[in-house]
Amino acid sequence: MVRDPKVFLMDEPLSNLDAKLRNQMRAEIIKLRQRINTTFMYVTHDQTEAMTLGDRIVIMKDGYVNQIGTPQDLFNKPVNLFVAGFIGMPVMNFFDNCKLLLEDGVYYAELRGVKFKLDEFKQKALKSNNQKPCDIVVGIRPQHITVGEGDLSAKIEVSEMLGTEANLHAMCEDDEVVMVIPTMDLEIDVSIGQTINFTTQPKLLQLFDKESGNNLIWYDAESAQNNAPVCKEYSF
């Protein structure tokens, strides 16, 4: 800092600190960066550090860049299964053996025999991509699940009460499902062994091609070929 460098390189600087001190030091680094107004390049395996400290994040796997974007873009618009599973805590739920259906010009996602009519944005995006019906993996973030209603069901195996919220670990047939539920909204029995119904909003579904793992909405093949993987944007 005394030499006023153009770039600071940080390689997991907080990895050896305990959780409480790590939180404090994250805040200190943010304040430091604002004060000296210099670029920081920060390497970390901790997604919380990446999301809170980064203006732009580069997600790498096996030496290859999978996606570049803002923290919010990576959370809301993951380009493939790896990015979707890496960003977010608890990790995104993935439901295998699902289908993308096209009936009378309308797209549906079929999940465990339940059909979700996709929202208008996804309808337009899929049509603009000329997307054909196919086998897919459906992703749902734990925070986007509503319990106590809907046609999907799961059997609770673990119930973690964390004060303001509860993390429910359940099995929906062969798929493990994690649900994050505010405790003030819990009006049903969530004890171990109980079977509960759940659902989500179609606009919150993430749709991934079964074979490639790419997001049917957000993967941009052209940018990936140019080695600058960013999410695809639409103007309707």
Q: In sequence order, what DSSP letters do the residues of 96-153 get, joined into one string?
A: EEEEEEEETTEEEEEETTEEEEPPHHHHHHHHHTTPPPEEEEEEE-GGG-EEEEEEEE
Residues 81 and 108 in one domain: no
Residues 115 and 72 in one domain: no
The residue among 70, 86, 102 that closes a domain is: 86
Residues 23 and 103 in one domain: no
What is the domain extent for residue 199?
Answer: 93-225
Number of domains the chain contains: 2
User: Which pLDDT score, from 0 to 100, does residue 186 have?
Assistant: 67
Whether 101 is covered by a domain: the verdict is yes
Q: Span 78-100, mean pLDDT?
A: 93
Whether 236 is covered by a domain: the verdict is no
Amino acid symbol at 59: I
More confident residue, 108 or 150: 108
User: Which pLDDT score, from 0 to 100, does residue 181 have?
Assistant: 86
Residues 45 and 108 in one domain: no
Question: What does the pLDDT look like over 160-185, one tens digit per residue?
Answer: 888 888 899 999 988 899 999 887 76
19: pLDDT strictly greater than 90? no
Whether 234 is covered by a domain: the verdict is no
The residue among 51, 86, 121 that closes a domain is: 86
